[in-house]
Amino acid sequence: MEVSTMKQATIEYAATGAFSQTITDYLSQNEKLKPFYSRFPTVAAFEAQLKEKSFSEKQRQVLYNALQQQYTSVPDINPSVQQNLELLKQPNTFTITTGHQLNIFTGPLYFVYKIVTAINTCKQLQEKYPDYNFVPVYWMATEDHDFAEINHFNLFGKKYTWETEQSGAVGRFTNEGLEQVLAELPEAYPVFEEAYRHSKTLADATRAITHSLFGAYGLVSIDGDHPELKKALTPVVKKELTENLSHKLVTEANAQLESLGYKPQVFSREINLFYLNNGLRERIVQHGETYNVLNTDTSFSKEEILELAEKHPEQFSPNVILRPLYEELILPNLAYIGGGAEVVYWFQLKKVFEACNVTYPVLMLRNSALYINRSNAGKMHKLGLKPEELFADYQELKKSYSARLHDEEINLEAQRRSITAVFSEVEKLAESIDPTLVKAVAAETQKAVNALQMLEKKISKARDAKHDQTFKQLETLRDKLFPNNSLQERQDNLLSYQTNNPDFIPALVEAFDPFAFKFTILEEE
């Protein structure tokens, strides 16, 4: 596939001003954070990770069977995906995982960046460790119930929203109502039309979308909301219900992080589990010997809830504290790729992994990028700016740009002196011929001086107007590249870029280096 010509550059994450101190300290391998992770993400570090991660043949078979069942919703599986599904049965195959909510139409752009980072990580590891196989995995957050976070996206500056009365785990939602969103769009987008009109659930539709976009790269999408997969979680569920294990350990980790000046990203509950049923995902809380499901009349004795965990683990859903542990239990996973906030909350969980004797994965920050299309690149060059300058606060940018535009004050004093000198010679000549002409010459001299003063004012005003126009162009450019004064990737949608550049995803695959730990700038040429 031919990729559009792109100019690539990188800058330090710290230079963007958009990432937390915790993240920049992690990337600089600050000693203070080392107790909160296992191995820093270098290609060489995976040698030890490969040796540490164990995953039995039985676990692989359970995983393979579940994925084959889930992929029955995809009518024509890409050979690269099918090959990776088969490879998961092999003892020398491992995964690199990223995860995200089921945002409609892929949501913010960083969803795509996460997946491309996983794909490219696998590529680099495959080159370094040819005796192993590496499969990129997208963990679909199908059990998430925060519909308000996934029901909208922004396209070309307009917000589109999905309205539905459904509740509970969003992956189980039907796609009813999405046809109205499709009808509102400025044009038809076949990948999304096909997925939302012909899939039974949002989980199936999201799998279809990621398969269409990334199937050629072998991406495997997994839905953890599966009875056979959930069996691996049963021992954790029982410990959580009876010992509040994760709460104690996360609280300890949070206190340690705070003592070092870092802010925890998530906070633990006494029980970090939800009760999951059709149309329902509600927290489980304990009162004495009784376990209640919040906002319902459902309750269990200790014996009843432990029996439920044994017989129907699929009715338990981990929250943000235990979901990472669940991922690592059911995948032969080596690394988790997340955004800045995700990486920070994984730091809070290492003690939980150790207590459950589960290998802690390598934590990788996903690639981030600023994408400058040809039109915006032209405007940027016309203004004489470099891409890295645009990350500054707008007022600071305007201030520095003003200094650059600063001209010497427009002053026609030298020209006035020249004209006065010329008229002085004329005056001498007139006086020698007819002294009565001196007043006329003086009047003309003043007229000429006044005309110069008027021209001086007009030229100054024209220059100021030109600068005002330049500042408007600067503000417009920055608003396009940093919508809502935020990183592009947190606001814009894939279609905002892929519509005009069908090679957008291949360009990302070409550009992103997951182990460089630099922010990428992509500029269309």
Taking only the tens place, the pLDDT of each residue in 229-256 is: 999 999 999 999 999 989 999 999 999 9
Q: How confident is the model at residue 1 (pLDDT cuts 50, 70, 90)?
A: very low
HSE, CB side, 13 Å, CA atoms: give it for residue 344.
Answer: 19
Concatenated DSSP letters of 49-100? HHHH----HHHHHHHHHHHHHHGGGSSS--HHHHHHHHHTTSTTEEEEEEEE
Q: DSSP 3-state assignment of 261?
A: coil
Contact of 378 with 523, CB cutoff 8 Å: no
Phi, psi of 229 (to 5 degrees): -65, -35
Q: Which CATH number fits domain 37-235+321-372+487-501: 1.10.1760, 3.40.50, 1.10.760, 3.90.320?
A: 3.40.50
Which DSSP state fits 200?
A: S
Contact of 42 with 32, CB cutoff 8 Å: no
**Poorest-pLDDT segment among 75-79, 202-206, 210-214, 448-452:** 448-452
Distance CA 139, CA 465 (A): 54
Amino acid found at 524: E
Per-residue pLDDT averaged across 499-503, rounded? 90
Amino acid found at 180: Q
Q: Which residues pair with 100 in a beta bridge?
A: 140
Please list the residue range(s) of the chain that carry CATH number 3.40.50: 37-235+321-372+487-501
Contact of 22 with 344, CB cutoff 8 Å: yes
Per-residue pLDDT averaged across 97-109, rounded? 97
Concatenated DSSP letters of 215-231? GGGT-EEEES--HHHHG
Q: How confident is the model at residue 82 (pLDDT cuts 50, 70, 90)?
A: very high
Per-residue pLDDT averaged across 326-348, rounded? 96
Instruction: Identify the CA nearest to 112 among candidates 124, 92, 98.
Output: 98
The mean pLDDT value of the chain amounts to: 93
Q: How confident is the model at residue 407 (pLDDT cuts 50, 70, 90)?
A: low
Per-residue pLDDT averaged across 168-193, rounded? 96
Distance CA 436, CA 444 (A): 14
Residue 406 confidence (pLDDT): 63
Taking only the tens place, the pLDDT of each residue in 481-494 is: 999 989 999 999 99
The model's pTM: 0.88
Q: Which residue has better confidence, 363 or 441?
A: 363
Q: How confident is the model at residue 408 (pLDDT cuts 50, 70, 90)?
A: low
Contact of 249 with 352, CB cutoff 8 Å: yes
**Poorest-pLDDT segment among 74-83, 88-97, 402-411:** 402-411
Q: Which residue has better confidence, 371 or 399?
A: 371
